[in-house]
Amino acid sequence: MADKPVLLQFSMTPLDKGESVSRYVARSLDIIDRSGLDYRTHAMGTILEGDLDACLAVVRACHARMAEDCNRISTTIKIDYRKGRSGRLTSKTASLERHLGRPLKKAGDPA
**Angle subtended by helix axes 52-67 and 22-34, to nearest 10:** 140
Among positions 43-62, residues that touch its own copies (CB under 8 A) are 43-45, 47, 52-53, 56, 60
When asked if residue 80 is in the footprint of its own copies (CB under 8 A), the reply is: yes
29 binding its own copies? (CB under 8 A): yes
Among residues 49, 35, 57, 36, which one has the least CA distance to residue 88?
Answer: 49
Contact between residue 41 and residue 89 where contact means Cβ atoms under 8 Å apart: no
Q: Give the CA distances from residue 36 to residues 31, 33, 39, 48, 58, in Å, rounded to whole numbers and listed in that order.
A: 10, 7, 9, 10, 10
- Rule CB under 8 A: is residue 34 a binding residue for its own copies? no
Site string for its own copies, 86-105 (x = CB under 8 A): -xxxxxxx-xx--xx-x-xx
Q: Interface with its own copies by CB under 8 A: which residues?
A: 7, 9, 11, 13, 15-16, 18-19, 21-23, 25-26, 29-30, 33, 38-45, 47, 52-53, 56, 60, 63, 67, 71-84, 87-93, 95-96, 99-100, 102, 104-111
